Structure 1
Amino acid sequence: MLADLAEKFESSSRRYAEVNGIERDPDWYLLKLQEEMGELTQAWNRVSGRGRSKGKTPDELKQDLADETADMLGHILLFARRNHIDLDPAIERKWRFRL
C-alpha cells in the first residue's frame, strides 16, 4: 500500500533534484527529513501562537501546517524507500493493525 505512494514521492523528488542539481546521496534523505521536521515545527509554532504569523490568516497557517505535514510524510517514505524499509509490516507490528 505505502510502496505505491512512496513511488509517487520518489518520482516527484527525483524530478525536483534533477531540475535543481541536487545530489540525493544516502545522507540527503535523513538530512532532508530533519529539515522538514524543522519546517513542520515552525508551522506548528505559528498555528499555536508560539511564532510570528507573518501576516497570514489562521486558514493560511493551517494550510502551511498541512503542507509541512505532507512534506514530512513524503520524506519519511523516501527515507524508507532509499533504505529498503518495508513500512507495511513495521506498521502492523508496531501499531498492531493491518493495512
Structure 2
Amino acid sequence: MLDELTDQFEKASQSYAAANGFVRDADWFMLKLQEEVGELTQAFNRKTGRGRRKGLSDEQMAVALADEAADVLGHVLLLAKAQDLDLLAAIERKWRFRPGFA
C-alpha cells in the first residue's frame, strides 16, 4: 500500500514538474520538502493563533492545515523514493512496529 501511494504521488509530481517546466533533481526533493514543512508550520501558526488569520475562517484554516500536512506526507514519500530509502524498515527500527498495510 505504501508503494502504491508513493507511486501516485510520483505520477502527480512528475506531471506538476512537466507542466511547470522544472527538473526534479536530488536537491529539489529535499528543498521542496523543506518548503512544504515551512508552509505546514505557517498553517499551524495561523490555526493556533500564532499567525495572522488573513481573513480565513476556522474551517478554512483547518482545511489549509490538512492540505499542507498532505503535501509534507507526499514530499516525504517522494524524497524516500528518490533516495531509495526503505521507509517500512525504518518504521520498524525507529517506531518499533510493523505497519499493518506492509
Give the match for residue 11 of structure 2. Answer: 11
Structure 2 equivalent of residue 59 of structure 1:
59
TM-score (norm 2): 0.95
User: Partner residue of 2:50?
Assistant: 50
* Distance apart, 1:57 and its partner CA: 0.4
Residue 35 of structure 1 and its aligned partner are, at CA, apart by 0.3
Q: Within 5 Å, which residues of 2 pair with 1:1-99?
A: 1-99=1-99
Deviation at 1:10, TM superposition (A): 0.2
CA shift, 1:63, in A, is 0.4
CA shift, 1:64, in A, is: 0.2
CA–CA separation in structure 1 for the residues paired with 2:44 and 2:22: 28
Name the TM-score, length of structure 1 as normaliser. Answer: 0.97
Alpha-carbon distance in 1 for matches of 2:90, 2:50 = 34
SS at match of 2:23: coil
Once superposed, which parts of structure 1, at least 4 consecutive aligned residues long, lie more than 4 Å away? Answer: none
Q: Alpha-carbon deviations, 1:49-98, whole Å to 9, x = none?
A: 01011101001000000000000000000000000001011111111111
Taking the aligned partners of 2:36 and 2:46, their CA distance within structure 1 comes to 15
Return 5+ residue gaps in structure 2 as ranges: none
Percent identical among aligned pairs is: 58
